[in-house]
Structure 1
């Protein structure tokens, strides 16, 4: 299998007052196409920072990131944004839906931005897949947290991304709703053959992936096959 993400000797630190805080130190791993991969670790272990670096939302101090056969270090911000738009999907803990758009419009927007004439039909099909066929015209404020996250899942898969980054996708949901969202995420992922990278503190969710990377204090403790 071809590698879709390769991370080598990654380091990231932030200035905090007069102190330099190292958030990640000497991080190296690889993810193959269509693999499901979880990054786990306690709060403050650097999980979300690592996800942001892998997706090109931020730049490392040193080390190399290759995503979808492109070396991210060589790209400027606009080029990284273009790569994300073409190849990458996101699911966030806080849903990040546009409040002034309906569920259907939220899902269709990424496709419309690409000039896809089937955006509305594709959006409806995806919302039906996640069990929201009767919610096309509802705004985020009219939906429960679980329903909002299902809209976010439909939106993330709408562009058929090569790789999907999910940051604590069940973090704002109760246990039962979280389980349903996880089932949907895994199911949609299998169907589309997308590479899936999940940051989570939920070990039950992590065990549904093929590989788990454990972080502690900004370093890799271990990488295990599930």
Structure 2
């Protein structure tokens, strides 16, 4: 099976005044194409920083990231942005919907910017799949947190990404709503065959993915397969 994400010897250090803070150290792992994968750890363990490096939003101080067959270190920022637009989807804890756009527009605008003439049709179908057929013309402020995250799910899958990064996707939701969102995420992911990388502190969620990497203090303390098929 091909490796869609390959991380080797990754390190990230930030400078604060005359002090250096090492956030990640000697991080190495691989993600198979089509796999569901979790990166878990307590707050401050470096999970979100690692996501940023995996997606080329930040650059490491040492080590390499190969994403969708490309060495990110060898790409200019605009090349990394093009790669993300074409291959990568994101879901964030705080939804990141545009407040002045309706649910339908939040999903369709990224597709329209890519010249997709079926953007509206595709977006309606995705919103229907996540149970929001009757909310397409509502603005984010008129939607509950769970509904906003379902719009974000539809948007993330709209451009059929090769790999999807979900950063604490249920972090702002209550348990019941979060469970519904996760089930939708896993169902949509299975249907589309997308590689899914979830950043979470929730072991119950992580155990529903095929592979779990545990971080502590910026280092990997375990990397194991689960019984999920």
Query: Which interval holds the TM-score relative to the shorter structure?
Result: over 0.9
Q: Distance in 2 between matches of 1:74 and 1:27?
A: 19
1:41 aligns with 2:41: yes
The gaps in structure 2 that reach 5 residues or longer are none
1-structure distance, mates of 2:111, 2:173: 27
Aligned match of 1:181: 181
User: Deviation of residue 16 (structure 1)?
Assistant: 1.9
* Cα shift at 1:76: 1.2
For 2:116, the equivalent position in structure 1 comes to 116
Distance in 2 (CA, whole Å) between partners of 1:204 and 1:142 is 30
Q: Secondary structure at the match of 2:133?
A: coil
TM-score by length of 1: 0.99
CA-CA distance at 1:137 after TM superposition: 0.2
- Deviation string for 1:79-127 (max 9, x for gaps)? 1000000000000000000000000000001110110010000000000
Q: TM-score, normalised by structure 2?
A: 0.98
* Aligned: 1:145 with 2:145: yes
Residue matched to 1:215: 215
Give the whole-Å Cα distance in 1 for the aligned partners of 2:61 and 2:119: 39
Aligned to 1:74: 74
Q: Which residue of 2 aligns with 1:195?
A: 195
Q: Cα RMSD over matched residues? A: 0.5
Structure 1 residue runs without a partner (length 5+): none
1:17 deviates by: 2.5
Matches of 2:129 and 2:203, distance apart in 1: 26
Alignment match, 1:168? 168
> Once the 2 structures are TM-superposed, how far is the Cα of residue 15 of structure 1 from its aligned partner?
1.1
Provide the residue aligned with 1:100 in structure 2.
100
Partners of 2:147 and 2:166 in 1: CA distance: 16
1:9-58 CA-partner distances (Å, limit 9, x unpaired): 00001012221000000000000100000000010000000000000000
1:16 aligns with 2:16: yes
Structure-2 separation of matches of 1:222 and 1:204: 16
Give, in whole Å, the separation in 1 of the partners of 2:153 and 2:40. 21
Partners of 1:68 and 1:74 in 2: CA distance: 13
Question: Hey, what does 1:88 align to over in structure 2?
Answer: 88
